Amino acid sequence: MSKKLILLLASLISLLFVSVVWQVAEIQIYSVAEQIKAGIFGSPFNQTTARDEQNIPMQLYNNGEKHYNPLFIASEALKANDRRKLGADSDVFITLTNKLLSQIVLRDSLAFLSYDFDYPKYNQKAPWASALTQSVG
């Protein structure tokens, strides 16, 4: 085999390998990169999850601020509820649910899971609500 053909095959195999690894581990790679940047510079590229003293998820945003994000709390509460149904302790589910209940805002006869911080990236002023969060919560 010629040197050019060997280099071409090696390049194709490398490209295929890197593509497969990226497809399988993209989310984990991105999450680790966010946490590394947040650890070094105090803020992530976009946002990453941190925890409070009760182990409730908070989001660390790229401006360095930490806020409770009801979408992430609701998502973890759903997982904790599934574990509770399988026999796990219900304390985590209750803690997360209580936090969600504390973030409910009543308007007329409606209840919303509300964000208590401004989100300038999308011109959102507190309190604001997200349809995605309402569907998960």
Contacts of residue 122, Cβ cutoff 8 Å, sequence gap at least 6: none
In the chain, the amino acid numbered 8 is: L
Q: What is the pTM of this model?
A: 0.74
Q: Are residues 79 and 38 in the same domain?
A: no
45-89, pLDDT tens digit by residue?
888 888 999 999 999 988 888 999 999 999 999 999 999 999 988
Q: Are residues 76 and 22 in the same domain?
A: no
Q: Domain range for residue 38?
A: 1-42
| Closest C-alpha among 57, 65, 62 to residue 117 | 65
> How big is the chain by its Cα radius of gyration, in Å?
21
Contact 48, 63 (CB under 8 A): no
Q: Are residues 38 and 69 in the same domain?
A: no
Percent of the residues in the chain that have a pLDDT greater than 90, as a whole number: 45
Q: Are residues 75 and 132 in the same domain?
A: yes
Q: Are residues 132 and 101 in the same domain?
A: yes
